[in-house]
């Protein structure tokens, strides 16, 4: 076998595996985004469910594992399966609502998350994702109410940072600039944020500690990071009435290809509204 033949055969073997990953979201520009290959987590979770098919905790674990490799539509089906067993389990609505956002379906996301909030009004994640769904739809007053609840319920400094970030954005877009600044009162330089580095940087922008041209650095190469930072910067400009700079940053968010980021979906929505 020649080296050329070996390369061709290897490519033929790899191609079907790559194409087998299902399309999860198709952008407004027509770009198809697919799931990633399973490295074992989904297979293990699936085996656990097969051994105990009515165990809702194991179904949630399977849906979370599927989400980890961007199998969002498969995760939605898994959480739906759990709802047929436990229709009043708030966590199922929390997770399915979250994953509806990840596939661009904010209408179904709102339905699930509102139902989840009725079942468990003290669940931080339900309020947070409810706020995200409202925000993407441009429903900033409703988003502000949801993020206010999330901020009060934040279980740690990382989640406090996330809720405060989105609350500032929602209040700013609702025309409540003074309230937006008040929403930042729990944030200080002493707050330990061990994850969500993009949110930490966006909060520094809102607090006037960095400028927009400092938001992206050469080390920012991750698509989700770029989408998150770019959307937040665009929203900062739009809240100030600067649509030209806002549009440029929203376009950068979409161009990143970081579609699992909420900022990606928000940027797509903003660009439609700015037409």
- What is residue 7's predicted lDDT score, i.e. its pLDDT? 34
- What is residue 20's predicted lDDT score, i.e. its pLDDT? 66
- What is residue 4's predicted lDDT score, i.e. its pLDDT? 35
In order along its 275 residues, the chain shows pLDDT tens digits of: 444 334 333 333 333 444 469 999 999 999 999 999 999 999 999 999 999 999 999 999 999 999 999 999 999 999 999 999 999 999 999 999 999 999 999 999 999 999 999 999 999 999 999 999 999 999 999 999 999 999 999 999 999 999 999 999 999 999 999 999 999 999 998 887 877 789 999 999 999 999 999 999 999 999 999 999 999 999 999 999 999 999 999 999 999 999 999 999 999 999 999 98
Here the tokens at position 132 are: 């995200």
In angstroms, what is the C-alpha Rg of the chain? 20
- What is residue 273's predicted lDDT score, i.e. its pLDDT? 96
- What are residue 33's phi and psi, to 5 degrees? -105, 135
- What is residue 29's predicted lDDT score, i.e. its pLDDT? 93
73-78, long-range: CB < 8 A, 24+ apart: 73/22, 73/24, 73/99, 73/103, 74/22, 74/35, 75/99, 76/100, 76/103
């Amino acid at each position: 076998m020649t080296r050329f033949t070996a390369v061709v055969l290897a490519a033929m073997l790899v191609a079907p595996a790559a194409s087998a990953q299902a399309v999860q979201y198709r952008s407004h520009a027509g770009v198809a985004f697919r799931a990633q290959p399973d490295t074992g987590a989904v297979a293990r979770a699936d085996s656990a469910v097969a051994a105990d098919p009515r165990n809702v905790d194991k179904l949630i674990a399977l849906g979370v594992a599927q989400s980890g490799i961007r199998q969002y539509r498969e995760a939605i089906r898994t959480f739906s399966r759990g709802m047929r067993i436990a229709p009043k389990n708030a966590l199922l609505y929390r997770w399915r609502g979250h994953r509806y956002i990840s596939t661009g379906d904010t209408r179904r996301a709102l339905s699930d998350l509102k139902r989840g909030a009725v079942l468990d009004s003290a669940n931080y994640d339900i309020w947070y994702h409810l706020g995200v769904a409202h925000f993407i739809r441009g429903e900033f007053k409703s988003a502000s109410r949801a993020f206010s609840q999330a901020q009060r319920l934040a279980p740690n400094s990382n989640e406090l940072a996330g809720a405060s970030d989105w609350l500032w954005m929602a209040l700013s877009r609702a025309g409540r600039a003074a309230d937006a600044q008040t929403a930042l009162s729990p944030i200080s330089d002493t707050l330990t944020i061990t994850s969500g580095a993009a949110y930490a940087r966006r909060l520094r922008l809102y607090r006037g500690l960095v400028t927009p041209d400092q938001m992206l650095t050469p080390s920012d190469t991750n698509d989700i990071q770029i989408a998150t930072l770019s959307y937040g910067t665009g929203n900062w400009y739009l809240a100030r009435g600067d649509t030209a700079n806002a549009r440029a940053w929203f376009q950068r968010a979409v161009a990143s290809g970081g579609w699992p980021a909420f900022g990606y979906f928000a940027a797509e929505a903003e660009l439609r509204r700015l037409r």
